[in-house]
Amino acid sequence: MNARIVQAKLIDDNHSLNGKLVDLRIENGVLTEIAESLSAKKDEEIIELKDLHVSAGWFDSSVSMGEPGYEERETLKNGLQVAAKSGFTGIAVNPNTKPVADDSAVINFLKTKSSGHAVDLYPIGALTQNGAGIDLAELYDMQQAGAVAFGDYQHAIKNPNLLKLALQYTQGFDGLVLSFPQENDLVINGMANEGETAIQLGLKGIPALAEHLQITRDLYLLEYAGGKLHIPTISTAQSVALVKAAKEKGLDVTCSVAITNLFYTDAALHDFDTRYKVLPPLRTEEDRKALVAGLEDGTIDMVTSDHNPLDIELKKLEFDHAKFGTIAQEATLGALLQLVSAEVAVKALTKGRERFTGVRTQVRTGETANLTLFTTEGTNTFTKEQIRSKSKNAAFLGAELRGSVYGIIANNQFIAS
């Protein structure tokens, strides 16, 4: 594609023109010029939009697709379109498929089926065989096939020796290990944050302690074994403090927060609406504020949508029986801009790519154009009409959001929202 982006505010704190209005020229998919003003060239598409902002393309570190095996929830083709129209140029896809992505064959399927799209798909391989938490999966083979990290989605590793071995083994090929932060023996049949709301509603609790114990254990294992650890979707104030202390000790650890936990508290559960049944559960206002503060000071490395499409048979049930999960990609920018500045939002939406893929996407001349276009202006109420996913289990329905995504430019394609 050949295009000129006109008078866009550049959000890139490593660029000399950060915060300035600039023109950007793309020729055959490569970013060839960036300046405060560029003259027109023949046969180039003009992209000129109100309050246009541009940043490096966003990366979502936790996305569930469905395919293979659960195509009724989401297909790869539609899911990649959802990601593109939500502003993401890269997504890490969880291994909760059928079959579980625990060998090179499934990883190859995901890579092959997703090729040619504007959005790059990066598979996360299961850490253990069939995600059962007993024996390590074929980690090296999956890495060779294209897996960028290894973890059992929303399943904690009970056996500490297994996690220790994974951290040691993956050092041989610079692999990234994910460990879901939950001590399962403290969460038997838990449905919601253990606290006042759960007591009032008669719901079995998931104590914050379960998260703190698992993170503390995993950080001790990381200090002992070495390696690279990512803790997905932390949800409490104490978890932020634990990760911050580990980073100050020099441990190679990162963490993410789900946009739902950043935006909502367990007060949303009072109507027993299963759209708000997520894992980790929505916590207290104190926790939510600590998560925002942790994002702003850099303790929390990235925000994920933790996008998990589920069909109506799994969500429109009594609260106890409904499955954990919500879709959130379509609302991620709008929710985030209600909480933090555009600069903080962009950092949170771009930092994950380097951690997971080893590649840092930048707005630089000579680089393949990998950009997200958005506006920070305007507020809107999120409605069903804005849902592009096949599944409709959206916690953000009715939420007041700020700004919107205009589209992405990636892999020599412009996808408008």
Residue 224: phi and psi, rounded to 5, are -75, -45
State whether 109 and 48 are in the same domain. Answer: no
CATH classification at residue 305: 3.20.20.140
Specify the 3-state DSSP secondary structure of 318: coil
Tokens representing 340? 């933090």
- C-alpha distances in angstroms, 81 versus 91, 195, 373, 383, 403? 11, 39, 15, 18, 20
Q: Which residues of the chain have pLDDT under 70?
A: none
Q: Is residue 146 part of a domain?
A: yes
Q: Is residue 362 part of a domain?
A: no
Hunting for tokens 């508290």 — which residue is that?
A: 265
State whether 169 and 151 are in the same domain. Answer: yes
Which pLDDT score, from 0 to 100, does residue 317 have? 94
Which pLDDT score, from 0 to 100, does residue 34 have? 97
Q: Rounded to an integer, what distance in angstroms lies between the CA atom of residue 349 and that of residue 295?
A: 11
Which pLDDT score, from 0 to 100, does residue 257 have? 98
Pairing of strands 228-231, 253-258: parallel
Give tens-digit pLDDT for 36-79. 999 999 899 999 999 999 999 999 999 999 999 999 999 999 99
Which pLDDT score, from 0 to 100, does residue 234 have? 98
Which pLDDT score, from 0 to 100, does residue 75 have? 98
State whether 203 and 335 are in the same domain. Answer: yes
State whether 42 and 153 are in the same domain. Answer: no
State whether 49 and 168 are in the same domain. Answer: no
Q: Rounded to an integer, what distance in angstroms lies between the CA atom of residue 215 and that of residue 178?
A: 11
Are 76 and 121 in contact, with CB atoms under 8 Å apart?
yes
Tokens representing 256? 């993410």
Which pLDDT score, from 0 to 100, does residue 333 have? 98
E strand intervals along 337-392: 371-381
Which pLDDT score, from 0 to 100, does residue 152 have? 98
Q: Is residue 36 part of a domain?
A: yes
Specify the 3-state DSSP secondary structure of 92: strand
Q: Is residue 308 part of a domain?
A: yes
Which pLDDT score, from 0 to 100, does residue 19 have? 96
State whether 41 and 62 are in the same domain. Answer: no
CB count, 10 Å around CB of 132? 13
CATH classification at residue 41: 2.30.40.10
Q: How many domains does the chain have?
A: 2
Residue 398: phi and psi, rounded to 5, are 90, -5
State whether 78 and 192 are in the same domain. Answer: yes
Task: Write the DSSP symbol of residue 41.
Answer: -
State whether 13 and 80 are in the same domain. Answer: no
Are 86 and 403 in contact, with CB atoms under 8 Å apart?
no
The closest alpha carbon to 408, from 351, 357, 350, belongs to 350
Based on C-alpha coordinates, what's the Rg of the chain? 21
State whether 180 and 284 are in the same domain. Answer: yes
State whether 164 and 48 are in the same domain. Answer: no
E strand intervals along 111-184: 120-125, 149-150, 176-178
Q: Is residue 289 part of a domain?
A: yes
The closest alpha carbon to 144, from 165, 167, 170, belongs to 170
Q: Is residue 67 part of a domain?
A: yes
Residue 8: phi and psi, rounded to 5, are -105, 140
State whether 42 and 152 are in the same domain. Answer: no
pTM: 0.97
The closest alpha carbon to 256, from 292, 280, 230, belongs to 230
State whether 208 and 278 are in the same domain. Answer: yes
Are 379 and 402 in contact, with CB atoms under 8 Å apart?
yes
Q: Is residue 317 part of a domain?
A: yes
- Final residue of a domain: which of 324, 357, 390? 357
Q: Which structural domain, as residue segments, surrounds residue 9?
A: 3-53+367-416
Cis, peptide link before residue 99, omega less than 30° from 0 = yes
Q: Rounded to an integer, what distance in angstroms lies between the CA atom of residue 83 and that of residue 90?
A: 8
Q: Rounded to an integer, what distance in angstroms lies between the CA atom of residue 82 and that of residue 308?
A: 12
E strand intervals along 185-310: 192-193, 205-206, 228-231, 253-258, 302-304
Catalytic residue among 102, 218, 266, 306: 306
- Final residue of a domain: which of 335, 357, 379? 357
43 is catalytic: no
